[in-house]
Copies of this chain bind each other. A is one copy, B any other.
């Protein structure tokens, strides 16, 4: 398992940080924003002001480290649903994310120039999309790499196999980024596959696989950057298994006390990916402590502004059922809209 930064925040012997301090600070801020949003969203959800959503907590190094290896201007992200900070870094507005989870279709809108596919709910269905997208961009000489997120659960779906197999054949510039967070809802990794690792499947598709410590920002970043560079150079796909753990429930409707062993949870809490980066930075330079301390208020402010933006947007309306279904809607749909939106009975 690739490891750079150990839990005490010390670089492993013979390794160097792949990022300079300013970048590490920026990544840390994003990780903290994500953690703060998890808490805010859960509290809004309990108040009935937010829908069911999946928190990132515990996986911030995995998500941020991988997204950091991409160039948002050229590269694409194809998400599952647990990668908020990656979407933000890539340019998706937090207020849209909020609107989406408030149940407002407008939240699904991806601004022009933001290279994202929508959040995916149907597990693993995004994997072939990512392969086709990468293949098509390559065909058009677009110099773009596609990174697709998915989980240990998703790796059991047929779509995983078909997507990997096709990617190997066409040499698509795609990085399969598997977040093995230990669980698919209540199903533990050991009930998901009898294979020793999930990354070892890659070899049989004709491309490399790697296992990284998913709670190690540097290891995730470095390994993903290597895969992105290979893809950009025409070297084809890579499968990265990022071994991490979600610290919270599957989503806000879940009750993990039914299936999580408290000792295991305790073990992983001690490996918190955010603490590790903070320790590293403070060990490098005691002055960083103050900047880090300022992040809390800073991200809280950003979240409040995004919430205000979201709340200030247009209210939901009946027309949203009909917008963006077809470029050129069938007459029957036009009439259904007329009845429902314009009130013609």
Contacts and interface: CB of A to CB of B under 8 A. Distances in A.
A275 interface: no
A192 B166 CA distance: 8
A160 B165 CA distance: 12
Interface stretch (A55-63, A198-206, A280-288, A313-321): A198-206
B200 A195 contact: no
A139 interface: no
A204 B195 CA distance: 5
A162 interface: yes
A203 B206 contact: no
Interface string A147-188: 000000000111111100100110000000000000000000
Contacts of A205: 193-195
Contact of A158 (B161, B200, B203, B204): B161
A324 interface: no
A169 B194 contact: yes
Interface string A30-74: 000000000000000000000000000000000000000000000
Interface in A199-250: 200-201, 203-207
B193 A168 contact: yes
A168 B194 contact: yes
A196 interface: yes
Contact of A204 (B159, B162, B192, B201): B201
A162 B156 contact: yes
Contact-size category for A: 20 to 34
Contacts of A191: 169
Contacts of A158: 157-159, 161-162
A165 B192 CA distance: 8
A169 B157 contact: no
A206 B200 CA distance: 11
Nearest to A202: B204
Nearest to A194: B206
Contacts of A156: 161-162, 165
Q: Which residue, A158, A194, A197, has most C-beta atoms of chain B within 10 A?
A: A194
Contacts of A160: 161
A191 B200 CA distance: 22
A198 B205 CA distance: 9
Given A194-B205, A206-B195, A162 B157 contact: yes
A165 B161 CA distance: 11
Interface of A: 156-162, 165, 168-169, 191-198, 200-201, 203-207
5 contacts: A157-B162, A158-B162, A168-B194, A196-B206, A200-B204
Report the 5 A-B pairs with minimum CB-CB distance, sorted nearest first: A158-B158, A194-B206, A161-B161, A168-B194, A201-B204
Given A158-B158, A158-B159, 6 more contacts: A158-B161, A161-B161, A165-B193, A200-B203, A201-B201, A201-B204
